[in-house]
């Protein structure tokens, strides 16, 4: 038995006229497509955004059918990394079809590029939109979840929730086609429970009516699905209802926390109330915010019920008379601002972590107290480059601390100077570590006087070559340290250059004059070889040069 066909696919619109509930969005989409047909596109890409189930994907596919375009689609089930987008969608957006017609590139859930599976997808999508030669449609639920450069490069077309009467009309046509006798009350019940989601309404109808010859309200009740209440419906009850109990009960079915709900009420309160009703409403909202603050401090979530009642029933009781009329509710503007400043906040947090790691304080303390201080230090030309190198700041972090942009000459000079200084320090560390290893003993002690005399000539030649090379390395390293390091480190480097020449000569043998200063014993001198040399009577004369070793420089 073949699997049942989903009615959402079976009755998907074939033309833009069949897409119900968003006439203005459809007109904008058609105008955008006609501009591509004329060869003068408004923008290379358009973003269809709005709640789930409002017909965005159906409109994109209907557009391709109506204009007889080829299309290619990528959705959330595909790995949308930079490589995959460049491999699949990139060539499709830049090449022509064999028939010479346009090709529509559809990228669904463009606001859901997260995690390692979609790494680099947003940047690749932006390049695709800017370089495209074919029409591109991006589909998203949350418009401000998309990166701002991508939003600016595309035309935004908003889809809104579908009215319940429009959903009921579409359900009635489906029942007529399927030969199901549906009670109008049952259709209205399904449409209202869909919450403006046409896809949910069609799925509910299929679950209740498939395989049935008639559909009654009691059949719908048994096939009821768990549908969360819409925030807009709850706002209607709060601002236009007459019962505080009804308002608080409506919030119970809402899939929003009290912190999110108070943002919605705060944003739309000036749109719904005026005059004294407005300030009384804000008084109730302020008291609710006090309880939310106590919840955050004390972690006592039992206080949520008081905050919820004040922001719903309290705000509703604040109006002196019932209010009617249409109010265009909108989401909290703070969310939009947070989405717009997401990149700046990530740069700020990164800079705060670097400063806090060097100052041994928390990132929160740095954001509150030290960001301005570090910015003033960076404004000083003498301190800017060493400080940026010490903190390992990048160009974006330097620009943020200076209150400037990365394209300014001052930021670029500080960043480039810090990079050069860090490279010099790394090179110096490598050279000094190599020089330190070269001063360690390289061979075991000689065991006989004959071996000492045999190796003397070779050692003299080796010492001259190795000593000259190491001296050059140490002098170059000390010179770099004198230019880049603090005064204490400069003194250390100077001390290396001023090494006593006596360290390159052997200690005076026994029998020398008492007036001559005794030379210190070399730290790596083999004691056994020295004792054997004295025992056999072969100590060097007073004016004879003593044998050198590789560790005498």
5 band by pLDDT with thresholds 50, 70 and 90: confident
Query: Residue 360: its pLDDT value, please?
Result: 92
User: For residue range 484-496, what is the model confidence (pLDDT) as tens digits?
Assistant: 444 444 444 444 4
Least confident of 70-79, 352-361, 472-481: 472-481
471-492: buried (b, 16+ CB within 10 Å) or exposed (e) per residue? beebeebbebbbebbeeeeeee
| Percent of the chain predicted with pLDDT > 70 | 69
Q: Strand 136-140 vs strand 155-158: parallel, antiparallel, or unpaired?
A: unpaired
Report which of residues 485 and 297 the model is more confident about.
297
321 band by pLDDT with thresholds 50, 70 and 90: confident
* Strand, coil or helix: 354: helix
Contacts of 519 (CB under 8 A, 6+ apart): 502, 505, 506, 507, 508
pLDDT at 440 over 90: no
51 band by pLDDT with thresholds 50, 70 and 90: confident
Q: Which backbone phi and psi does 215 adopt, to 5 degrees?
A: -130, 125
**CA nearest 247: which of 331, 313, 323, 154?**
313
pLDDT at 71 over 90: no
**CA nearest 225: which of 257, 256, 202, 252?**
202
* Strand, coil or helix: 140: strand
Q: Which backbone phi and psi does 106 adopt, to 5 degrees?
A: -115, 125
pLDDT at 553 over 80: no
pLDDT at 454 over 60: no
pLDDT at 443 over 50: no
Q: How far is CA 275 from CA 107, 238, 281, in A?
A: 47, 17, 10
Report which of residues 414 and 150 the model is more confident about.
414
Query: Residue 442: its pLDDT value, please?
Result: 41
Query: Residue 188: its pLDDT value, please?
Result: 87
Query: Residue 93: its pLDDT value, please?
Result: 67
For residue 218 the two structure tokens come to 């009691």
pTM of the full predicted structure? 0.47
22-48: buried (b, 16+ CB within 10 Å) or exposed (e) per residue? beebbebbbebbeebeeeebebbbbbb
What average pLDDT does the chain have? 75
31 band by pLDDT with thresholds 50, 70 and 90: very high
Report which of residues 77 and 232 the model is more confident about.
232
Q: What is the DSSP letter of 546?
A: P
Q: How far is CA 242 from CA 6, 66, 212, 233, 280, in A?
A: 42, 48, 41, 14, 16
Enumerate the β-bridge partners of residue 199: none
118 band by pLDDT with thresholds 50, 70 and 90: very low
| Percent of the chain predicted with pLDDT > 90 | 14
Over residues 189-215, the mean pLDDT reads 83
290 band by pLDDT with thresholds 50, 70 and 90: very high
Over residues 405-427, the mean pLDDT reads 88
Enumerate the β-bridge partners of residue 182: 215
Dihedral angle over CA of 451, 452, 453, 456, nearest 10: 120
Least confident of 336-340, 357-361, 531-535, 543-547: 531-535
Element containing residue 35 per DSSP (H, E): helix 23-37
pLDDT at 80 over 70: no
Over residues 359-379, the mean pLDDT reads 91
User: According to the per-residue pLDDT averaged within each range, which of 41-45, 312-316, 448-452, 462-466 is highest?
Assistant: 312-316
Query: Residue 468: its pLDDT value, please?
Result: 45
Residue 327, Cβ density class (10 Å: 0-12 exposed, 13-18 middle, ≥19 buried): middle
**CA nearest 197: which of 221, 173, 233?**
233
For residue 465 the two structure tokens come to 């070559």
Query: Residue 436: its pLDDT value, please?
Result: 67
Element containing residue 474 per DSSP (H, E): helix 449-484
* Strand, coil or helix: 214: strand
d(CA 420, CA 413): 11
* Residue 231 · residue 265 · CB < 8 Å: no
Report which of residues 144 and 116 the model is more confident about.
144
445 band by pLDDT with thresholds 50, 70 and 90: very low
Least confident of 154-163, 219-228, 510-519: 510-519
Report which of residues 421 and 253 the model is more confident about.
421
d(CA 467, CA 464): 5
Q: How far is CA 520 from CA 67, 438, 527, in A?
A: 96, 21, 14
Query: Residue 231: its pLDDT value, please?
Result: 81
* Residue 227 · residue 193 · CB < 8 Å: yes
């Amino acid at each position: 038995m073949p699997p049942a066909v989903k009615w959402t696919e079976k009755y998907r619109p074939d033309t833009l006229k069949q897409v119900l509930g968003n006439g203005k969005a459809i007109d904008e989409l058609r105008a955008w497509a006609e501009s591509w047909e004329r060869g003068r596109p408004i923008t290379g890409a358009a973003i269809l955004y709005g709640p789930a189930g409002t017909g965005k994907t159906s409109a994109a596919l209907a557009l391709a059918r109506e204009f007889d375009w080829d299309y290619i689609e990528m959705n959330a089930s595909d790995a949308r990394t930079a490589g995959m987008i460049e491999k699949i969608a990139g060539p499709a957006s830049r090449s022509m079809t064999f028939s010479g017609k346009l090709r529509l590139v559809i990228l669904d859930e463009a606001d859901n590029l997260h995690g390692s599976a979609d790494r680099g997808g947003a940047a690749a999508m932006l390049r695709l939109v800017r370089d495209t030669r074919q029409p591109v449609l991006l589909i998203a639920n949350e418009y401000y979840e998309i990166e701002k450069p991508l939003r600016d490069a595309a035309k935004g077309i908003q889809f809104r929730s579908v009215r319940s009467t429009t959903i009921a009309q579409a359900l009635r046509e489906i029942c007529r086609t399927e030969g199901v006798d549906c009670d109008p009350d049952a259709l209205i019940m399904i449409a209202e429970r869909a919450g403006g989601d046409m896809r949910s309404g069609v799925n509910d109808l299929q679950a209740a009516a498939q395989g049935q010859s008639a559909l009654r309200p009691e059949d719908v009740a048994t096939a009821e699905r768990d549908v969360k209440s819409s925030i807009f419906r709850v706002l209607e009850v709060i601002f236009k209802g007459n019962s505080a109990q009804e308002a608080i009960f409506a919030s119970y079915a809402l899939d929003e926390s009290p912190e999110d709900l108070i943002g919605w009420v705060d944003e739309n309160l000036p749109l719904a109330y005026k005059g004294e009703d407005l300030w009384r409403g804000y008084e109730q909202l302020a008291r609710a915010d006090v309880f939310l603050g106590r919840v955050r401090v004390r972690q006592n979530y039992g206080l949520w019920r008081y905050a919820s009642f004040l922001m719903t029933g309290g705000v509703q009781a604040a109006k002196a008379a019932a209010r009617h009329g249409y109010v265009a509710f909108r989401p909290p503007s703070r969310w939009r601002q947070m989405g717009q400043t997401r990149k700046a906040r990530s740069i700020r947090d990164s800079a705060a972590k670097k400063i806090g790691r060097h100052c041994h304080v928390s990132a929160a303390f740095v954001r509150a107290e030290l960001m301005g201080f570090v910015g003033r230090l960076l404004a000083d030309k003498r301190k800017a480059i060493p400080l940026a190198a010490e903190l390992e700041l990048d160009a974006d972090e330097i620009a943020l601390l200076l209150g400037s942009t990365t394209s300014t000459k001052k930021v670029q000079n500080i960043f480039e100077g810090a990079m050069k200084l860090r490279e010099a320090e790394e090179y110096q560390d490598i050279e000094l570590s190599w020089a330190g290893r070269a001063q360690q003993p390289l061979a075991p002690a000689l065991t006989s006087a004959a071996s000492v005399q045999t190796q003397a000539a070779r050692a003299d030649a080796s010492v001259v070559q190795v000593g000259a090379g190491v001296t050059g390395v140490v002098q170059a390293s000390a010179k770099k340290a004198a230019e880049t390091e603090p005064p204490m480190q400069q003194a250390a480097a100077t001390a290396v250059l001023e090494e006593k020449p006596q360290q390159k000569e052997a200690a005076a043998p026994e029998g020398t004059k008492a007036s001559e200063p005794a030379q210190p014993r070399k730290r790596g001198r083999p004691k056994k070889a020295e004792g054997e040399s004295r025992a056999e009577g072969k100590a060097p004369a007073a004016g004879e040069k003593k044998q050198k070793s590789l560790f005498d420089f």
